[in-house]
Amino acid sequence: MMSKSFYNIRLFEIILLVILLVSFDQCTKVYISKIMLNNNFNDIELFPLLNIVFVRNTGISFGMLSEGGLLGRYFFSIFSLVVGSLLILLAILSEKKLLCTSLCLVAAGALGNAIDRIYFGGVIDFIDFFIYNLHWPAFNFADIFITLGVVVLLIDNIFYKKNAF
């Protein structure tokens, strides 16, 4: 059982981590959007396998369900906000540092993309990896946070099965 002071410190750390990650995600999206606007939304080559692009994804992963319109926009926004909030609550209740960190990563990614859906009507994706003409779907830092958090959760689940919460 956690003491009250430990609980308060853990709560502060979790909220701070999520705010920092969401802020980083949002700042990169605004910065890239400004650069792309100044560049007439033309792709910018950074490296031979990496471009900066501007994609507004109104669907879910890889653009699926992008024809959802206004209903989809609000459904995905509310869903992401609820999931992000529940993951923060689970992180607060968790006593395992690795589990807590991974839940914070996924929550921050979900909240970052939810903010995009509310503000822009879709998620702003801008990182484009490719080999020749084979492009991985564009993504952003919120997607990286979600993926990293899920990978850490899987590693935690596979190698450290004791004391789930």
Per-residue pLDDT of the chain (165 residues; tens, 9 = 90+): 556 776 778 889 999 999 999 999 999 999 999 999 999 999 999 988 999 999 988 766 555 445 555 666 778 889 899 999 999 999 999 888 899 999 999 999 999 999 998 888 889 999 999 998 888 889 999 999 999 999 999 988 888 765 555
Within-domain flag for 164: no
User: Which two three-digit tokens encode residue 8?
Assistant: 């308060």
Within-domain flag for 59: yes
Residue 143 catalytic? yes
Report the domain count for the chain: 1
Residue 70: partners with Cβ closer than 8 Å, 6 or more residues away = none
Residue 164: partners with Cβ closer than 8 Å, 6 or more residues away = 96, 99
CB 84 within 8 A of CB 111: yes
| Structural domain range at position 101 | 4-159
Within-domain flag for 21: yes
The half-sphere exposure of 164 on its side-chain side, counting CA atoms within 13 A, is 4
**Out of 25, 116, 128, 143, which one is annotated catalytic?**
143
Within-domain flag for 109: yes
Residue 125 catalytic? yes
To the nearest whole percent, how much of the chain has pLDDT over 70? 85
Question: What type of residue sits at position 25?
Answer: D
pLDDT of residue 68: 55
Q: pTM for the complete prediction?
A: 0.86
**Out of 43, 125, 128, 156, which one is annotated catalytic?**
125
Q: How far apart are CA 88 and CA 108, in angstroms?
A: 9
Within-domain flag for 165: no
